[in-house]
Chains A and B, each alone.
Chain A
Amino acid sequence: MKSDTIAAIATGMGNSGIGIIRMSGDEAIAIADKLFRSKKKGKTLKEQKSHTVHYGNIVYNDNVIDEVLVVVMKGPNSYTKEDVIEINCHGGSLVMKEILEAVIKCGARPAEPGEFTKRAFLNGRIDLSQAEAVIDVINSKNKFALKCSVEQLSGKFSEEIKSIRDMLIYNIAYIESALDDPEHISLDGFSQKLNVDLINVKKRIKKLLDTADDGKILKEGINTVILGKPNAGKSSLMNILVGEDRAIVTDVAGTTRDILEVQINLNGITLNLIDTAGIRDTEDVVEKIGVDKAKKYAKEADLIIYVVDASRKIDDNDEEIFDIIKDKNTIVLLNKNDLNTVVGASDINRYIENCPVISISAKEQTGIEKLHDSIRKMFLHGEINFNDEVFITNIRHKAALSEAYNSIELVMRSIDDGMPEDFLSIDLMNAYEELGKITGEAVEDDLVNEIFSKFCMGK
C-alpha cells in the first residue's frame, strides 16, 4: 500500500539534552533529504545504507535550524516496516517544533497518537499483544513495570496463554467429535479426565491472576496513607521514607493541615505515600477540613501506616482512628521508642487483631527496615523473582483471566452436577475465547482501536 509519511516529536516536550523527530512512510527519506545538509558536499540520505547515522545540519529556507544526527532505517527493517528517519537534534522545545514544522511543510503529515505503532501492527511487524505492551513500556513507572512489559513484548506471557488454550481446545474438539461420531469416539470417563485438565488450567490461571495483583501493585504502586494523632511523628516518618524534608516538621501539633502526596520506591515496590493531617477533634475550621480529607483517603487506601506516639496513652482520638482502619491493611508503628514508652503491642491488639506492630524511632531512624519487610509480606505473594516469572500488569488481561477462571469453575460445577458433555463446551469455549482476547486470537472489535488510542504522540 502507498502510505503517506507521518512525523512527530518522539521525545518529551520539555527542554532536554536531546530531542528526536521521527518520520515514517514512503517519502520519509526524500523529505529528510530536502532539509538535511551533510558536512560532506553532495551527500544524500537516499544513497545511504539502512541503519546508519549521518552528521549535518537541518536547513530550511536557507536558515540553519540545528546541528543534527540523522538515523536512516529502511523498510522493512524498521519499527513500522516502512522507511523511517529519526532526526536527533538539541532538545529545546522550540528547535524540535521548528524541525517538525519543516518536515511537515516538505510533505509529511502530523502523526496521530499511536500511529507509528499502529503502522507497525498494520504492516505485520507486531501483534496486538505486543502493541499493547509497547504502551506499557512507555508508561512504566519503575524498573519492575518496565520488565513486565518487555517480557510481554517478547511473548513469554503469550506462550503461557497459548499453552492453556491448546489444552482447552483439545478438550472442546474431543467433545465435539464424540458428538458427531459416537460410534468411534467414546465419552466414557471423559469428564474425569477433563476435570484433571481443568484443575491444572485453573491453577495456572490462578497463578497468573495472583501475579496480576502483585503486578498491579508493583507497577502502579501501593496507595499508602499515613495516619495518626497530631504530632505522633507522621511527617518525620514520611521524611525518612522520602529522604528529604518534604513535609514540614515542627513540634507544634496540627502543623500538617493539608494532604501531602509523594511517590517513593522501596526496594522495587512503589508506594504512593499520602501524609495526612493528624486526626483529632478540633474546632479549627482549616484543620477540620484536613482531618475529613484524611478519613476519606484512609477509606480508599491499599495500606494504612498508623503512627502511634508510644510515649502517650491511647485516647479518644486513637480510638477514632481504630474505627477507621478496622477493615484495612494496616501496619501500626509505635513511634518514639527512644523515649519512655507507655503503649505496647498488646495495647494495640486489643483494638485490632493480626496486624503487624513495629516499634520504631523516627527521630533515631530505627526499625524502618522492619516496615519494609512487613509491606513486602503483606502485598506480594511469596517471593518475587524478577527473572523468570510472568507478571500480569494490564487491567484488560486481568479481566480476561478472571472471566476465563470463572468459566472454568462453571465447567467444573457442570461436571459435578453430572451435566451431559455437550453442555460443557459452552463454558469451555468462553474460557478459550476470553484467553484469546489476551493474545489477539479472539476477535474483539472495540479492543483493537482502544489499544491504539491509549498511545502518546510519536510512538
Chain B
Amino acid sequence: MTSFAGWQMPLRYASETAEHLAVRRAAGLFDLSHMGEISVTGPDAGAALDYALTGQLSAAPVGRARYTMICAADGGVLDDLVVYRTGPQEFLVIANAANTAVVHEQLRARASGWDAEVRDATGDYALIAIQGPAAASILAPLTEIDLSAMKYYAGAFGSVAGRRAWVARTGYTGEDGFEVFCAPADAAGIWEALAAAGAPAGLIPAGLAARDTLRLEAGMPLYGNELGPDMTPFEAGLGRVVKFDKPGDFVGREALAARAAAGPRRRLVGLTILSRRVARHGYPVLEDGQTSGTVTSGAPSPTLGVPIAMAYLDAGSGADAGSGAGSGAGSGGEDKPDLFVGIRGEAVPANLTDLPFYRRRQ
C-alpha cells in the first residue's frame, strides 16, 4: 500500500509485472476510486465547459466521452481530463486525484457567468476499471448494457451485478476496457462480481505500479510527469485537444494560439534505453555531452522486455532536429545511438522510438 493524493492505494497486489501482463493478455481489475468526479449540470453546462476547457464539450453527443484539458490563462496545463456527457444538460468531469480541488475551484469560477452548477461529486462515486482484451466478455454477462454496441470513448447508465452504474469504454492502459462508476456502497459487490467472473479468464487485481507501466507503454501522459503548469498541450504533442475553431472565447485561448503559432519549446519523445538500467523521471538526456532534455517517465517495459522512457527534448536539439524516430534502429545507425541518458553519473545510450511503444491489435 502507498499514500497517493490522500488515498491509501495498492501499488501492487502481488507482482506488478504479472499484473501488467495480465492486462495485456487477459484482464486486470483496478480500484481507481481516488479519481475526482466533478459534475457540471444545467442549461449552460456545455457552454460553460467550452469556456473552461480546451475542448468543445457542447458538441459531444450524450453518451460520449472526450479527452480534454483545463489550462491556465497562460496556456499551462492544470490537469488533463476525461469528460463524459451523461445527459443533455449533465457532464461528469474526471480529474486526477491530486488536482481535483484545483479543477473544482477553477470550474466553479469559470462557470460563474453561466446557468450551470458545478459540484465536487468525488464522494458520490467509486471507480472500478476492468481493462484488457477479455474485459468485454467478462463484463457482458454482468450487465444489460449492450457492450458490443458501445464505442471507444462512449458510456451509458445501466447496472453491473445488479447495482446501478455509469459504464464507459475508457481507460488508461492501451487496451480495450471499461470504467465502472458506482456508489461507494456498491463498489465491493461490483468488484467481487467482476473478480469472480474474470478469474477463469485470467483476470487479476492490478495496482498503481502496473497502471503506470501500462500507460507508459501506451504513450499516455501522466500529470506531474509529462504534463504540468509549465507546459502547454503542444509540448506534449497533444495540441489536438485545443479546439481553436469552437465558438466563443476560452481560458488560455490567446496564449495557446501564440504557442501554436510559435511552435513548442520542447518536444515529447519516446526512448528505448540500450541497457538494462532504467532511465527514470528527472534524469538528464545528453547529446554531445550537453544536456538536451529531461526524462519524464521511465520503466522497464514488461511487454517489450527493455527499459523505455518518455522525455522532453529542447527544441532545436540534435535529436529533435533529426527525424530518427520510427526507423527502428534510430537515426544514428548500427553503432551510434541517437542520444544518451545520464543514469546516476553514467551516459547510457538510447534511441528515439515512435510513441506509443505499444499498440493493441484491433
Task: Report if A and B associate in a common complex.
Answer: no
**B residues whose Cβ falls under 8 Å from a Cβ of A:** none
Interface residues of A (CB under 8 A from B): none
